[in-house]
Amino acid sequence: MQTDSSFTFVLFGGTGDLSMRKILPALFEAHRAGGMLADSGKIVAVARHATDRREYIEWVNEHVKPHVSKNGVDETAWASFLERIEFVNIDLGKAEDFVHLRDAIKDLPGIRVFYLATGPSLFVPICHALASVGLNENSRIVLEKPLGYDLKSSNAINDAVGEIFAEEQIYRIDHYLGKEPVQNLLALRFGNALFEPLWRREWVESIQITIAEELGVEARGDFYDNTGALRDMVQNHLLQLLSIVAMEPPHSMDSDSVRDEKLRVLRALKPIDPRDIGKVAVRGQYHSGVIRGTAVPAYATESGVRPDSTTETFVALKVEIENWRWAGVPFFLRTGKRLADRVAEIVVNFRAVPHSALGASALRAGANRLVIRLQPNETIRLYCLAKQPGEGMNLASVHLDLAFDQFFREGQMEAYQRLLLDVINGRLALFVRRDEQEAAWRWVEPILNEWKVSNKPPKPYASGTWGPAASSAMLAQHGTCWLEEEN
């Protein structure tokens, strides 16, 4: 991915955790690869926790370096990367301070990218301040999640930002859309004749999408306790992955063609009747337990969390799509903290053969399945049945792997690296359009409202397990189970 696009990348929240762990390491990897970033491109960090460039570079050396280049840091590349970085110390709450930012970047070349790695409460003030000094022209702005607390607050932020930046200037980032297997899912579906005839209700029995974390809320207790898993993960990441899996083939891979098809899926989601929420939605909260031999505390005792909190740390949902391709196919979504493993995956369970002359094993659900693993390792695996060696016709499950590192010499690109390059080069396909976001909030809100009205506490689950038993029971009602339970 070569580029000659000159740019000035302005990073608000330049000393924050996201900048240290993800954004600056991604920019370094693009720099180190050579040719991905224009030589004239500059990175301008904006923060209050450093007084000048020298102090900021010391901060970067201490906090960013541990997160780059798994096989060691190329010191020559690192030194040249640091030369790209400038620093501006301003108070984001003071619009008058943005004059200093304008003066610092006015002579820097290329498109201006403003990345808001800050809390959402600062999105609108920053945008207004940028406009007050004329920095909203010839620019793009990247908004991190969460973008609002509900549909009303999301619309308020989008309205305010939309008054200052045109929709084609706004990049609402969801890093799961930048992951290599998600890109390969599009390639498998729309680049091969093999899967398209099977990618429909006649041949698919069910689909599971899981994003599981071993970690708890860590230092984010204050934020998380006012957010919960449904807002933090389902409304954005999980529904975006669902829309990629279920979308119709776009006429091209340009930004609006892809996003139009995703929007059609989100608008086709079957509304959940509040009376049925107990049957199709499971919410849980982790208690104390043991993960990999280490005792971990209950959610309610975490720092920043209210002792009587009813915030959910686990959600499992049964979702249906009301269109011709997917009518009647259940989509099971699941996410949670303090679960048994860190994994993100999409599981497509194909229907069993209608009649088997080879024994009962050929008739079991899931004998044929496609597993797209997003993390920790990124793979795509197709399962089928084959005869075991030896006497008799005994079948066993085998799999075919798409092993990226064996087919391609180039290393895989991290999600943030791909998405940041897309912003610099003006590619919007992997970013969330406003109408997509509204459709997702509109579907999620009845669940949030019913949970608030009913005031029922989340179901407890021990840390280090796969969540409340009700999650498994929900799938059992449909004659299936989560992938790890079958294994």
Asked if residue 238 has pLDDT above 80, the reply is yes
Side-chain half-sphere of 484: how many Cα atoms within 13 Å? 16
Fold of 7-144: Rossmann fold (3.40.50)
Asked if residue 137 has pLDDT above 50, the reply is yes
CB 452 within 8 A of CB 276: no
Cβ-in-10-Å burial (0-12, 13-18, 19+) of 435 comes to middle
Catalytic-labelled residue, pool 49, 63, 237, 251: 237
Residues annotated within a binding site: 48, 91-92, 145, 175, 179, 213, 232, 337
* Interval 209-224: pLDDT, tens: 999 999 999 888 898 9
* Interval 1-41: pLDDT, tens: 445 579 999 999 999 999 999 999 999 999 998 889 999 99
Asked if residue 446 has pLDDT above 50, the reply is yes
Cβ-in-10-Å burial (0-12, 13-18, 19+) of 393 comes to exposed
454 three-state secondary structure: helix
267 three-state secondary structure: helix
Amino acid at 445: E
* Interval 50-101: pLDDT, tens: 789 999 999 999 999 888 866 678 899 999 999 999 999 999 989 999 999 9
- Residue 230 vs residue 192, higher pLDDT: 230
The Cα–Cα gap between 368 and 385 comes to 7
205: enclosing H helix or E strand = strand 204-212
**Number of C-beta neighbours around residue 143 at 10 A:** 25
Query: What's the predicted TM-score (pTM) here?
Result: 0.92
* Interval 151-173: pLDDT, tens: 999 999 999 999 999 999 999 99
- For the chain, domain boundaries: 7-144, 177-412+433-486
Residues annotated within a binding site for NADP(+): 48, 91-92, 145
Residues annotated within a binding site for substrate: 175, 179, 213, 232, 337
Catalytic site residue 237?
Answer: yes
The CATH homologous superfamily of the domain defined by 177-412+433-486: Dihydrodipicolinate Reductase; domain 2 (3.30.360.10)
